[in-house]
Chains A and B, each alone.
Chain A
């Protein structure tokens, strides 16, 4: 597999006074070109930190992350990011938000006038692809959460990034909107051939979207296990109810509970119930 992103012995320590909190420890992973990889794990497992390190917003304390063989140094246009929320610019219209990269010198540098023309066609194409035609002159705060995330995705895709990093992008959306967004992002993945790294806390979402699901474990943050998703490339919502899907979902969820030490202690709960009843009886 030709690795688009290769993460080698990645380590991240957050300083907290005299102590250090190890957010990532010996993380190794290769992500292929055009691959869709999802990350799940209990809170504190470092999945968001890893994504931020790939984006260059955070720097590693040790190890290296390469994109097409070159170690990354800081954020770059080759790696676009979609955040959970509040990343759109409320003073710009939908169309202006999507074209934001055009206002930046980094976006203009290598452009010829022919490129500019192609690029305006691209903005229109993305507006169509994301179903934003009727709101292109609206402001973000006039849109629902789902529509706002469509704008954020279109904006990220405009300069044709090789890699799209998504940090719980649908975490704040309602279940129905989320399903629509899932099919939309799968469509984008196929159409644009973008490598997508997607962080979520929703296991079902991780399986439905990913070709591989990476389960991370906390204390210290590390990769626990990797599951290959055995679903056809063309996915649909009904697959979520098939036994293979459900079995994998259960396996991953069990694994997350185990790594987090979050198994429900039924014995303890029963004992507490008994104690409460006894004290009630005594009164």
Chain B
């Protein structure tokens, strides 16, 4: 067989349905997936086909990120935004987890709360802004309230679903061993649902970041979302780019932290 045939065979093997990739090939593809769009962006900006005002190149975005850091209080914007996201997210988790646990465990609670929650979650969180401003004012709490509204109702339903996914046999086994209701919840349902719950938190954390920009529409004067909106007013597309990319990076770091926590907290899922 010639080397060309071998190369073709290898190429075909890559496209096996649900096939395996070795680590090096995987990394190569992952790197390509990141570098190709970057190169495309760079080429597009360098070609001059689009006005630099609308399409700044990677280098000018990077420079802009530095001046933002040096002169325009980037770190302050980041910490304010992170605080808002964490606060809104934590507030909604504190309420959503017990309520979801009750919905997923007890039918009357499900009947009473689930249709209501289902209904409210289809109301756009953005539409609550005027109400929130009237009720909560324009202080820090209003931004947190909007992130809360955006994430809480979804989180309740997802937690309830996680709890319902606990295999009934695990619960019945505890019943036949003489466990009472409280013990079944604390010793079976909660530990069994925990990995799924952490995944739910990870996913909803992503949504909390989405609502950040919405929240910072409301009379904010700092924060990443606010800076992006203000940059638009001054035609600072490079700053818009920098802001969006930064939010993406922070999200990525938090997501990875959640995944790391998952691996550390639930070693039994990762041992084979």
Chain B residues, Cβ within 8 Å of A90: 192, 268-269
- Kindly specify which of A103-111, A190-198, A250-258 makes contact with the partner chain: A103-111
With a CB–CB cut-off of 8 A, which chain B residues contact A101? Answer: 177-178
In the complex, the answer to whether A89 meets B180 with C-beta atoms within 8 Å is: no
Name B's interface SS: helix
* A131 close to B (CB within 8 Å): no
Is there a chain B Cβ closer than 8 Å to A11's Cβ?
no
Q: Is the CB of B177 within 8 A of A80?
A: yes
Question: Which of the segments A41-49, A71-79, A202-210, A228-236 contacts the partner chain?
Answer: A71-79
A139 within 8 A of B: yes
In the complex, the chain A residue whose C-beta lies closest to that of B265 is A91
Tell me which residues across on chain B come within 8 A of A81, comparing CB atoms: 172-173, 176
Interface residues of B in 13-46 (CB under 8 A from A): none
Contact with A along B160-193 (1 / 0, CB 8 A): 0000000101101111111110010001100110
Chain A residues closer than 8 Å to B172, beta-carbon distance: 57, 81, 83, 87
Among candidates A76, A86, A87, A89, residue contacting B178 with C-beta atoms closer than 8 Å: A76
Q: Is A159's beta carbon under 8 Å from chain B?
A: yes
Tell which of A89, A106, A156 has the most Cβ of chain B within 10 Å.
Answer: A89
Tell me, in angstroms, the Cα distance from A92 to B271 when the chains sit together: 13
A residues sitting closer than 8 Å to B (CB atoms) are 55-57, 75-77, 79-81, 83, 85-91, 100-101, 103-107, 138-142, 152, 155-156, 159, 165
Kindly list the 9 A-B residue pairs having the minimum CB-CB distance in the complex, ordered from nearest.
Answer: A106-B178, A77-B178, A139-B268, A81-B176, A87-B173, A75-B175, A87-B169, A86-B169, A86-B167
30 A-B pairs with CB atoms under 8 Å apart are: A55-B176, A56-B175, A56-B176, A57-B176, A75-B175, A75-B178, A76-B178, A77-B178, A79-B176, A81-B176, A83-B172, A86-B167, A87-B167, A88-B170, A89-B170, A91-B191, A91-B192, A91-B194, A91-B268, A100-B174, A100-B187, A103-B183, A104-B179, A106-B179, A107-B178, A139-B268, A141-B268, A141-B269, A142-B271, A152-B173
